Amino acid sequence: MGKAVRIIQYLRIAAGTGLAFVLFGLGGLFLNLLTLLIGLIPNSFPEKREQNIQKIVHYSFRAFYWYLKVFRLINGKCKGLERLPSTAYIFVANHPTLLDIVLILAILPRAICVVKPKIMSSIYMGEVARTAGYISNEDGEKLIDACVKKLNQGTPIIIFPEGTRSLPQTLRLFKRSAAWIALKSDFPIVPAVLSITAPILMKDWKWYHVPPHSMEMLVDIHEPIILEKVLNNPKYDTVSARKLTSHLQQFFESKVIFNDIGSNGK
Amino acid sequence: MNKEEILYKVEDVIVDLLAIDRALIKPETMLFEDLDFDSIDAIELILQLEEKYDEKISADKLKSARTIQDVVDCLYELLRAREEEVIAK
């Protein structure tokens, strides 16, 4: 490829990514405003309101993903959608880039995320996150109880067990929240392995650190984990939570594909 | 009850909780760094200690405990306060 073509390619992707940030910010502000307005309408069914906001988030992220695809910034693929249980579930995924949640929320019609406390108070996402029923990971015990309650109401939960974005060439040590929730609630863990072909928006990366070509992102949804197959006698206790988390970590480490990321674009 | 007895009981609970060998733990063992405790493990520890001592233990009091010895010291203070209360009555 000629140098000029490479420069044009870079500029296209950098400009597209920059515009994506602007759209994300404006879209977030608009959604926050919309959520505030919806909150003014008297409603005696808060669960219904949560579900409506979850749907709005889903369609907004689908629209945002459409932008990313049309501008050839991301080409997303999803495998194993048919494996999602008909009941609520704990969707556990690795977190290679800031953009993976866009694809996940565009795929899952109704789900809530476990998020950092600063997202709950963010001017861009806070109102939406709170009204949609998202759960802060600030307090371990409250987090487990809140997730179990949501699962019992039929709402799937998305958890990134690394707690933050993955490292370029390896996974971080998994936290045990997903295991505690599964052991307490008896709802299935659905492992979703995310792989990207080029690095973009990893932890501490600037928006203009973009790959020289479009990125492919694969969301590979695997069979739900049956606790009895992993643990002899699954119980809500420390030993079971540690064994289940260790199983999850090994499972993801055996499935994630690291495509020589970490050097390109930055 | 002296601190040695409390230490033995705390070690019992931790050995049970984590299914590990007693030889792996010492008074100076760090709960979060060495034993990889998370906040739910800490609550499980408190619940099991409460059961063992039939005593309500405030999570806040144990929050600052970093080592097994810290847990022992905290329990010792708690039990001594209870004894003093009983004597005063």
Report the SS3 class of residue B30. Answer: strand
User: In whole angstroms, what is the distance from residue A147 CA to residue A241 CA?
Assistant: 16
The catalytic residue among B38, B60, B70, B73 is B38
Whether the CB of A180 is below 8 Å from some CB of chain B: the reply is: yes
> From the centroid of its chain, how far is CA A151?
17
Whether the CB of A22 is below 8 Å from some CB of chain B: the reply is: no
Which residues in chain B are closer than 8 Å to A175, comparing Cβ atoms? 38
Q: What angle do CA A66, A52, A162 make, to 5 degrees?
A: 65
Closest CA to A115 of A92, A135, A91: A135
pLDDT, tens digit (0-9, with 9 covering 90-100), for A124-134:
889 999 999 99
pLDDT at A265: 41
Residue A105: C-alpha distances to residues A54, A60, A102, A108, A226 (Å): 9, 9, 5, 5, 24
Task: Check CB contact under 8 Å for A241 and B40.
Answer: yes
Amino acid of residue A262: G
pLDDT, tens digit (0-9, with 9 covering 90-100), for B8-46:
999 999 999 999 999 999 999 999 999 999 989 998 998
Test mutation, B40, B41, B49, B60, chain A, max A CBs within 10 A: B40
> From the centroid of its chain, how far is CA A32?
19
User: In whole angstroms, what is the distance from residue A128 CA to residue A120 CA?
Assistant: 9
Instruction: Output the tens digit of pLDDT for each of chain A's 266 residues.
Output: 578 888 887 787 788 888 888 888 888 888 888 888 888 887 777 788 899 999 999 999 999 999 888 888 888 999 999 999 999 999 999 998 888 898 999 999 889 999 999 999 888 889 999 999 999 998 888 999 999 999 999 999 999 999 888 887 889 999 999 999 999 999 999 999 999 886 665 666 666 666 666 778 899 999 999 999 999 889 999 999 999 999 999 999 999 887 655 444 44
Q: Characterize the bridge pairing of strands A215-221 and A189-196.
A: antiparallel
Q: Which H or E run contains A213?
A: none
B38 is catalytic: yes
CA distance, residue A183 to nearest chain B CA (Å): 12
Contact between A200 and A97 (Cβ < 8 Å): yes
CA distance, residue B1 to nearest chain A CA (Å): 28
Whether the CB of A241 is below 8 Å from some CB of chain B: the reply is: yes
Task: State yes or no: pLDDT of B52 exceeds 60.
Answer: yes
Contact between A160 and A98 (Cβ < 8 Å): no
Q: Characterize the bridge pairing of strands A135-136 and A112-115.
A: parallel
Q: At what angle do helices B68-88 and B3-18 cross, to 10 degrees?
A: 130
Task: State yes or no: pLDDT of B85 exceeds 90.
Answer: no
State the pTM of this model: 0.85
Beta-ladder partners of A191: A92
Which residues in chain B are closer than 8 Å to A176, comparing Cβ atoms? 38, 40
Domain B3-88 has CATH 1.20.120.160: no
* CATH architecture assignment, domain A3-255: 3-Layer(aba) Sandwich (3.40)
pLDDT, tens digit (0-9, with 9 covering 90-100), for A182-232:
999 999 999 999 998 866 656 666 666 666 667 788 999 999 999 999 998
Instruction: State the complex-level ipTM.
Output: 0.82
Task: Check CB contact under 8 Å for B38 and A239.
Answer: no
pLDDT at B62: 77
Which residues, including other chains, have CB under 8 Å from residue A123's CB and lie 6 or more apart?
A29, A32
Residue B57: Cβ within 10 Å count: 17
Closest CA to A180 of A208, A215, A221, A139: A139
User: In whole angstroms, what is the distance from residue A182 CA to residue A225 CA?
Assistant: 10
